Amino acid sequence: MQALVYYYSTPLGKKMIMAITGLIMFLYVFIHMLGNLQIYFGPELINQYAEFLHSKRAIPLLWLTRIVLILSVCFHILCAFQLWWHNRQARPIKYAVRRYVEADYAARTMIWSGPIIALFVIYHLLHLTTHTVQPVPVESKTLYQIMIGGFQDPYVSILYMVAVFFLALHFYHGLWSWFQTLGLSHPKWDRTRRWLATTLAVLVGAGDISIPLSVLLGWIK
């Protein structure tokens, strides 16, 4: 136990926790996206999917997923803040001239994309789950109707698409760093892991953006 506490206190330990929790969140978002993409097959399939998630058989798994996800988010944010603070304390005076060698745009915006995603998740829950903000029409009762009604507002859809763009950017750098944290970084494999990170991030971004865009364009009614 003491060894675990010591390992957590090191920057490497925090980076490892961020890598593991980040992977958990990515897997959840990816599976969530696949579930939402069922909207393209008509209302029956996605409504059955929603009914199953709220059935007695799925409730234990659903709550287990929620607990793991909440813990992952909390530890991810905590470690990110602690690493940021550690770096800030180590270098209290800013560089006179800052040159970025390997850090790309996604890496330099991680400190901003994280809070943006957190705010978006809160809005997403208030919008399509609790219907507290910008509620969909009263007649919308099924998941299919709720999604269609929610994305018919152009401002809402644009907000979703911008947030998903930052989410994909965040995942891109997170997946790239995940390989590096686990010691899988090598010049020989850098091109492959960059391709994997790009492909997975684009899949999530394109999949999630396609739904509000399709509703706006009238491809899904």
User: Mean pLDDT of residues grouped by 10 in the chain (221 residues)?
Assistant: 75 84 91 94 92 87 90 88 77 49 49 77 83 70 87 91 90 79 68 86 95 93 81
Dump the DSSP string for 207-218.
HHHHHHHHHHHT
Which position has the token pair 């969140």?
25
Residue from 65, 46, 7, 74 nearest 146 by CA: 46
The single-letter code of the amino acid at 91 is R
Residue 138 three-state SS: coil
User: With left for phi above 0 and alpha for psi between -120 and 50, is residue 218 left, alpha or beta?
Assistant: left
Residues 6+ positions from 213 with CB-CB distance below 8 Å? 157, 161
Q: What is the pLDDT of residue 77?
A: 86
Q: What is the pLDDT of residue 160?
A: 93
Residues 6+ positions from 21 with CB-CB distance below 8 Å? 71, 72, 73, 75, 76, 79
Q: Over the range 86-118, which residues count as b (16 or more CB within 10 Å of their CB) and which as e?
A: eeeeeeeeeeeeeeeeeeeebbeebeebbebbe
Domains of the chain with bracketed CATH:
2-217 (1.20.1300.10)
CA pseudo-torsion sign 30, 33, 34, 35: positive
Q: Using an 8 Å Cβ cutoff, are 26 and 174 in contact?
A: yes
Q: What is the pLDDT of residue 183?
A: 66
CA distance 216 to 153: 8
